[in-house]
């Protein structure tokens, strides 16, 4: 269901943790973390978009966690209530605990939250600009059929 894509900035030579000058440390999300996000995605999207989202099929992405917060970017494979085939959307999402707090779809005209604002807002805790670069690389690979 979830797939972790490692980009060069995703690995720290001294390990998975990166010091941010704070009490807590930012950690790269692993495959298990992504598996645990499937159900919160499903519940959160059905709550936010009840007339559109039928089901969430999977996530391909990358992200980081800082305490109980997770900043995740990637491609979401989901089923729309009106279509018989799955759709793929690129997203920026913030989770608190195991709850979807904020999500922005890059292709959508109307979002509850602007993805660019999310990147700016959370850059003090997460490597948001690097994650967004990784998202664009991921979208490119997906469009070429390399994933």
d(CA 52, CA 129): 29
SS3 category, 4: strand
Q: Is 114 helix (H, G, I), strand (E, B) or coil?
A: coil
The DSSP-derived string for 28-82 is: E--HHHHHHHHHHHHHHHHHH-TTTEEEEEEEEEEEEEETTEEEEEEEEEEEETT
Give tens-digit pLDDT for 22-75: 446 889 999 888 888 889 989 999 998 889 999 988 889 999 999 999 999 999
Q: For 70-106, what is each residue's pLDDT tens digit?
A: 999 999 999 999 999 999 999 999 999 889 999 999 9
Separation CA 33–CA 35 (nearest Å): 5
The Cα 147–Cα 32 span in angstroms is 19
Provide the sign of the torsion angle of the four alpha carbons 21, 74, 97, 49, taken in this order. Answer: positive
- Residue 93 and residue 69 in contact, taking contact as beta carbons nearer than 8 Å: no
Q: Is the pTM of this model over 0.85?
A: no
Q: Are residues 61 and 33 in contact, defined by beta-carbon separation less than 8 angstroms? A: no
Q: What pLDDT does residue 6 have?
A: 52
Number of helices (H), then strands (E), belonging to the chain: the values are: 3, 7
């Amino acid at each position: 269901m979830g797939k972790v894509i490692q980009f060069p900035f995703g690995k720290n030579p001294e390990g998975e943790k990166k010091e941010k000058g704070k009490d807590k440390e930012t950690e790269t999300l692993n495959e298990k973390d992504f598996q645990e996000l499937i159900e919160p995605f499903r519940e959160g999207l059905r709550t936010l978009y009840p007339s559109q989202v039928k089901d969430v099929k999977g996530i391909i992405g990358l992200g980081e966690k800082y305490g109980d917060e997770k900043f995740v970017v990637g491609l979401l494979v989901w089923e729309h209530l009106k279509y018989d085939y799955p759709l793929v959307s690129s997203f920026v999402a913030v989770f608190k605990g195991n709850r979807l707090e904020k999500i922005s779809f890059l292709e959508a005209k109307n979002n509850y939250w602007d993805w660019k604002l999310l990147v700016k807002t959370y850059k003090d805790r997460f490597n948001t600009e690097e994650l967004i670069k990784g998202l664009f690389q991921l979208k490119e690979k997906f469009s070429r059929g390399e994933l």
